Structure 1
Amino acid sequence: MWDYSFAIPSILILAILLINYFMLQRLPIRVNKNFVSLLLIETVVITSDIFSSWACENYQDLPKFVVVSSNMFYFIFFILRAYAFFVFTCSILELDPTENQFRTFLCRLPMIITEVVTLSSPFTKAVFFIGSTGYQRGSLYNIIVLNFAIYLFFSIHATVTFKSRLKAKRDFFGILFYLLILIVGLIFRIMFPRYLLMDTFCVMTIISINLLFMNPEYFIERRTRLFNSEGLRIILQDTTRQKYNTIFAFVIRHYQEAVEIYGAKQMDVGIRLIGSYLRRILPKEKLFYYRSGRFVIMTKSSVDVSSVIKKIEERFKSPWLSDNVELYLEARFVEVSPDYEMYDSDIVINTLVNALNKANNSTDKSHILVGRDMFDAIQNNTAIKRALEKAIENNKIEVFLQPIMDAQTNTLVGAESLCRIRDDKGEIISPNKFIPIAESNGRINQLGEQVFEKTCKFISENDMSALGLEWINVNLSAAQFMKKDLASDFSNLIEKYNLRPSDIHLEITEAVIVDDDITNNQIQSLRQKGFLFSLDDYGTGYSNISRLKHSPFSNVKIDMSLVWDYCDNPNLLLPMLIKAFKKTGYSLTAEGIETKEIEETMKSIGFDYLQGMYYSPPIPMDEFIKKYTKSS
């Protein structure tokens, strides 16, 4: 006799879980599909377990075919259930079975072998047979237990191996928790075969999974009841959402201004009204709210996107009305080309947000089409950010040196330190690309510190006089210049490498000296430590000589734009500027020397130092040593 007392409540619990699953809004992603498959398989297993147990008890009154086939049906799904738990675990770990077909086949092999052995039982009596005394276990019965144990081992191994893919530690321990329940259930099945306890433990596991991983509220935006930004990221990552292959989006124009005008509470109502409207006109499509008035819609290819956009545009021509709410809002639209499927989900989202921001700021009402060029630009920008982070974290910022020549003797007198980073292929990334990123994300300070220290190290390890170097210029960014402890940091590094502060000249641009008080205080602190200053790129900003008199620079570098303009159209402006600077006590450096003619012209009007590609592009430190030690 088998005890059904545990199995019947289990199937009722499963029924509740199934009803709950289909009542709530879910993303059409692999993990959800695998969970509902697990629910259905478990329902079939418990139902067939009860029926086959009843058939075995009444084998004398039933046709042998019914008894055999019911047991066969149960064992087939019992074996499949073990594999289903493993597949679900893989989906939590975001493992894609299509990435490695051979590995997937190897993972399925235990199930295939066990199913084949089980299906042969009517002929071989391998797993079970119906004899004169009823149901009997076969000689290979324990293969089904072994199959379950193998998939539990596979699940534990995958969890430990790929735990870095999980978003939080609780997910890792959550997986181990439900796998432990299955292990205990398997032990109980071996020890108490007459009780249908294994099904109860499997249901306990499914309940744990539902509580730990299947809460759809994680992906629902509370005001609109649409999917949120995390839901958008997950569905873009999932490769099983092929039927939703068209994306368009819109943004409420000047959303923050609208919040200020109408108030946060009224705008929340407005966002909710828009969400309700979208659910009404697009009930079968996937709708997302991506913060700050941005809505994203994923549709099937059969949907006429143009007509839907026109319909939404028409709706925005009327106010959004509710109790005590009347909002007049404007929307701007973005359409995404099918090329988005070629890119990583983060790239797609970043590109989409960038396009929506562009649409928001545009006075043109035409739709923005997001194509491959925009995706590539964002992808390249992301790659540069990663390269920058990697270089800073691993102290891999490279310092290149560009020579500064004495205009009178045409010999090397100084150099400028310029930072460089490399991409994954080892190729140099243009500073015009990574410097703005470093300034915007706050990494410019660490970048500048590495350049300064590596310049100090270069000076300490090499014979400056043998190279002909009197000093090396190091650039300071505006953010770096605002650091209160900058002077002490630099002074400590000078002492660490046993240098003189005058070995390094600090270059700052005109943009840095906007706030005279802060600038002068910082300059005075650094000058007290013995550092000298050079004003970089003069002529690109708004400084004048009278302002510079109060900023104690020792050298002014005239920007290449003024140099080239003078060579193209000679006039008195630049020569007079040079004379004025020299009377004030500054030495002068001409940037942008690219030809012999420019060199001769700049010498003739009185420059002290010359710098440019005519002499050398910025080169690595080791090349600089070889080139200029040899020449000396």
Structure 2
Amino acid sequence: MWDYSFAIPSILILAILLINYFMLQRLPIRVNKNFVSLLLIETAVITSDIFSSWACENYQDLPKFVVVSSNMFYFIFFILRAYAFFVFTCSILELEPTENQFRTFLCRLPMIITEVVTLSSPFTKAVFFIGSTGYQRGSLYNIIVLNFAIYLFFSIQSTVTFKSRLKAKRDFFGILFYLLILLVGLIFRIMFPRYLMMDTFCVMTIISINLLFMNPEYFIERRTRLFNSEGLRIILQDTTRQKYNTIFAFVIRHYQEAIEIYGAKQMDVGIRLIGLYLRRILPKEKLFYYRSGRFVIMTKSNVDVPAVIKKIEERFKSPWLSDNVELYLEARFVEVSPDYEMYDSDIVINTLVNALSKANNSTDKSHILVGREMFDTIQNNTAIKRALEKAIENNKIEVFLQPIMDAQTNTLVGAESLCRIRDDKGEIISPNKFIPIAESNGRINQLGEQVFEKTCKFISENDMSALGLEWINVNLSAAQFMKKDLASDFSKLIERYNLRPSDIHLEITEAAIVDDDIMDNQIQSLRQKGFLFSLDDYGTGYSNISRLKHSPFSNVKIDMSLVWDYCDNPNLLLPMLIEAFKKTGYSITAEGIETKEIEETMKSIGCDYLQGMYYSPPIPMDEFIKKYTKSS
């Protein structure tokens, strides 16, 4: 006699969970599909469990094939349920089955073997059989319990192995929590087989999953009731999503200015009205609100996108009414090519945001088309960002040295430290690519600090006189120049490596001189510590002799653009400029020396030092030592 008292409420709970699932707006992603499958399989397990138990109690009054079939269905779903819990766990861990087909086959093998053994039972009596006294367990009955235990073990092992894929610690402990409930249920199944409590523990697990992982509000934007930015990221990275052929998006032009004009409260209502409008005209498409007035729409192939865009543009020609206030807003559109499916979700989103920013700032009302070229650019920039982060975090910034020659003797007198980073293949990334990124993401300070310290270490570990070096120049960025504790930080490093401050000359570009007072105060602090200064890239900014004559620079580096321009079209301007600088007390370095002719020309107009590819490109420190120690 079996006790059904635990099973009936479980079916009612599952029914409520199913109704709740389909009533709420959800993303069509793998984890959601697997959860629905889990609900349906669990419902089938409990229903077949009740029916097969009833059939076993009444085996004498029922045809044998009904009793056998009902038990067969129950065991099939019971076995499938164990695998379904494992598959759901993998989807939470973002493990893609197609990543490793062989591993996927091995994971399915216990289920396949157990199903085959179970299906053979009417002939082999392996798992169960119906005898003269009714239902009887077969010699291999425990294989179904073993199958459940195997998938429980697989789930625990996968969670521990791939926990780094989880976004938060709570997800890790959440998975372990519901797996613990399954383990307790399995123990009850073994110890109390006549009580249908295993089903109850499985339902408890599903309830826990629903509370921990299936809250759709996490992906819903509050005002518009559209999916939010996290929802967009999730659906783009889900490989089993329904195919959406086209993505297009629009941004409310000058959104922040609109907030200042109409007020935040009115604009919130406006955003909500736009969301309602989109839901009305595109009820079956996936709609997202990506913050700051940006809307993203994912459509299927049967949608006439140009017609939809035209319809939305026409709507924006009329005001949006908010509490009797008319909001006059303008939208700019971006269309994404189907090539987006070739790229990572973060690349797609970053490219989309970048394109919307361009559309927002453009005076041209035409739509921006996001194609493969734009995706590749963002992908390359993302790879550079990662390489930069990796190099900084692991102290892997490399310092290359480029020689500075004495114009009178043509001998090595100094060098300039230049930073380099490498990509995953070990190839050098151009500084023109990673320096702007370091400046924009705030990493330029850490980068500059590593270059300065590694230069100090190089000087302390090598005989400068044997190399012919009197000093090494180190560049200061505008961000570094703003640091109030820069002088003390550099001074501590100089003391740590037992150097003289004059061993290092600090190069400051004209672009870094954003404020005369800040420049004077910072340079004064550094000069008090004994550092000397060189003005880099002169001719690319707005400095002049009148402005610089009161500045404590000892050297001015003429930018290569001025050098090349003079060599192509000689005139009196550059020689007079150099003469004026030298009379004011500055020494002069000419950059961009690439040929013998440029060298001779710069010597003839009075340059003191020369630097450029004619002498050497920037080279690693060890190569620099070999090259110039030999020459000395």
- Measured against the shorter chain, the TM-score band is over 0.9
Higher mean alpha-carbon deviation, 236-245 vs 207-216, is at: 236-245
Shift of 1:581: 0.9
- Quote the offset at 1:244 in angstroms: 2.0
Distance 2:197 2:245 in 1: 44
What do the CA deviations read for 1:495-532 (whole angstroms, capped 9, x no partner)? 11111111111110112223122211111111111111
After superposition, what is the alpha-carbon deviation per residue over 1:452-496, rounded to whole angstroms, capped at 9, x for unaligned? Answer: 111111111111111111111111111111111111111111111
CA distance in 2, matches of 1:540, 1:73: 80
The within-5 A match list for 1:81-96 is 81-96=81-96
Q: Secondary structure at the match of 1:455?
A: helix
Q: Which moved more, 1:515-524 or 1:372-381?
A: 515-524
- For each residue in 1:266-294, what CA deviation from the matched residue of structure 2 results, as whole angstroms up to 9, or x when unmatched? 11111111111111111111110000010
Q: How far apart are residue 323 of structure 1 and its match?
A: 3.4
Q: Secondary structure at the match of 1:248?
A: strand
SS across alignment from 2:297: strand
Answer with 516-525 or 149-158: which moved more: 516-525
Q: 1:105-145: CA deviations, max 9, x gaps?
A: 10010000110111011111111111111111111111110
Q: Distance in 2 between matches of 1:302 and 1:103?
A: 37
SS of residue in 2 equivalent to 1:139:
coil
Structure 1 Cα separation of the partners of residues 323 and 585 of structure 2: 73
Aligned to 2:429: 429
Deviates more, 1:87-96 or 1:434-443: 434-443
1:230-288 deviation line (CA, Å, top 9, x unaligned): 00000000011142232111111111111111111111111111111111111111110
Q: Percent identity?
A: 97
Tell me the SS of whatever aligns to 1:535.
strand
Q: Deviations over 1:27-50 (max 9, x none)?
A: 000000000000000011111111
What is the total number of aligned residue pairs between the two structures? 632
Residues 72 and 118 of structure 2 are in contact (CA less than 8 Å); yes or no, is this contact kept in structure 1? yes
Query: How far did 1:322 drift?
Result: 4.2
Q: Shift of residue 318 of structure 1?
A: 1.2
Quote the Cα distance in structure 2 between the aligned partners of 1:362 and 1:416: 40
Q: Which digits, 9 at most, give the CA deviation of each residue in 1:207-239, with x for residues without a partner? A: 000000000000000100000000000000001
> Alpha-carbon deviation of 1:324?
2.3
**1:441 shift after superposition:** 1.1
Could you tell which deviates more after superposition, 174-183 or 505-514? 505-514
What's the CA shift string for 1:548-576, capped at 9, x where partnerless?
A: 12111111111111111111111111111
- 1:373-426 deviation digits (Å, cap 9, x = unpaired): 000000000011111111111111111111111111111111111111111111
Deviations along 1:348-372, one digit per CA (max 9) or x if unpaired, are: 0000000000011111111111000
**Matches of 1:165 and 1:513, distance apart in 2:** 45
The corresponding residue for 1:574 is 574
SS in 2 for 1:352: helix
For 1:531 and 1:321, locate their aligned partners in 2 and report how far apart those are by CA, in whole Å: 63
Q: Secondary structure at the match of 2:32?
A: helix
Alpha-carbon displacement from aligned partner over 1:144-178 (angstroms, at most 9, x marks no partner): 10000000000000000000111111111110111
- Measured after TM superposition, the shift of residue 547 of structure 1 is 1.4
8 Å Cα contact 2:28/2:242 also seen in 1? no
1:612 is matched with 612
Return the alpha-carbon distance in structure 2 between the equivalents of residues 553 and 302 of structure 1: 67
* Structure 1: distance between partners of 2:386 and 2:528: 38
| C-alpha distance in structure 2 between counterparts of 1:530 and 1:314, whole Å | 67
User: Is it true that 1:349 corresponds to 2:356 in the alignment?
Assistant: no
Give the distance between the partners of 1:312 and 1:241, measured in 2 at CA.
26
Alignment match, 1:185? 185
The offset of 1:578, in angstroms, is 1.2
Aligned counterparts of 2:176 and 2:563: Cα–Cα separation in 1: 69
In structure 2, distance between residues paired with 1:240 and 1:249: 23
Cα shift readout 1:414-453 (whole Å, capped 9, x = no counterpart): 1111111111111111111111111111111111111111
d(CA) in 1 for partners of 2:124 and 2:74? 18
SS of the residue 2:335 aligns to: strand
Q: Measure, in 2, the Cα distance between the counterparts of 1:420 and 1:323.
A: 57
Q: Is the 8 A contact 2:250 2:294 kept in 1?
A: yes
Quote the Cα distance in structure 1 between the aligned partners of 2:378 and 2:241. 23
1:48-86 superposed Cα distances (whole Å, 9 cap, x missing partner):
111111111111111111111001011100100000000
SS in 2 for 1:130: strand
1:524 and 2:524 matched:
yes
4+ residue runs of structure 1 moved beyond 6 angstroms?
none
SS of the counterpart of 1:533?
strand
**Any idea what SS the aligned residue of 2:424 has?**
coil
Residue equivalent to 2:16: 16
Corresponding residue for 1:153?
153
Question: Secondary structure of the equivalent of 1:474?
Answer: strand
Q: Which runs of 5+ in 1 are unaligned?
A: none
Contact map agreement 2:266 2:322 (CA 8 A) in 1: no
How far off its partner does 1:194 sit?
1.1
Q: Which residue of 2 aligns with 1:267?
A: 267
C-alpha displacement of 1:310: 1.0
Contact map agreement 2:405 2:609 (CA 8 A) in 1: yes
- Alignment RMSD, CA only? 0.9
Structure 2 residue 121 is matched with structure 1 residue 121: yes
Deviates more, 1:224-233 or 1:452-461: 452-461
TM-aligned CA deviation for residue 579 of structure 1: 1.3
Asked whether the equivalents of residues 246 and 301 of structure 2 are also in contact (C-alpha less than 8 Å), the reply is yes
Distance in 2 (alpha carbons) for counterparts of 1:230 and 1:512? 38
Counterpart-to-counterpart distance in 2, 1:243 and 1:436: 37
Contact 2:339 2:371 in 1 (8 A): yes
Following superposition, the deviation at residue 325 of structure 1 comes to 3.4
CA–CA separation in structure 2 for the residues paired with 1:578 and 1:525: 28
Aligned with 2:589: secondary structure? strand
